[in-house]
Structure 1
Amino acid sequence: MNKPVIACLEASAAARSVCDYAAWAAATLGAPLALLHMLAEVDRPDVMIGETSLTAQLGEVEAERRRLRMAQGQALLAECAARLKPSGYEKAQQLQKQGSPAEILQELTETRLLVLGDDGARHPVGSPLESLIRLHRGTVLAVPETFTAPSRALFAYDASMECRKHLARLTASPLLYGMECHIVMVNGNATALQDAFEALHKAGIRAQAFMLEGTSVADSLCRHAQAHNIDLIVMGAWGHSQRRRYFIGRHAADMLFRRRLPLMLLR
Structure 2
Amino acid sequence: MSDPILVFDSGIGGLTVLRELRTVMPDRRFVYVVDDAGFPYGDWEEAPLVQRVSDLFAEMIATHRPEAAVIACNTASTLLLPELRERFSIPFVGTVPAIKPAAERTRSGLVSVLATPGTVRRDYTRGLIDDFARQCDVTLVGSQKLAGMAESHIRGRPVDGKALWGEIAECFVERDGRRTDIVVLACTHYPFLANMFRKLAPWPVDWLDPAEAIARQAFKVTGAAVAAELLEGFDHAVFTSGAPDYATRRLIHGFGLAL
Higher helix residue share: 2
- Is TM > 0.5 for Structure 1 vs Structure 2? no
Q: Which has the higher contact order (CA 8 A, sep 6+)?
A: 2
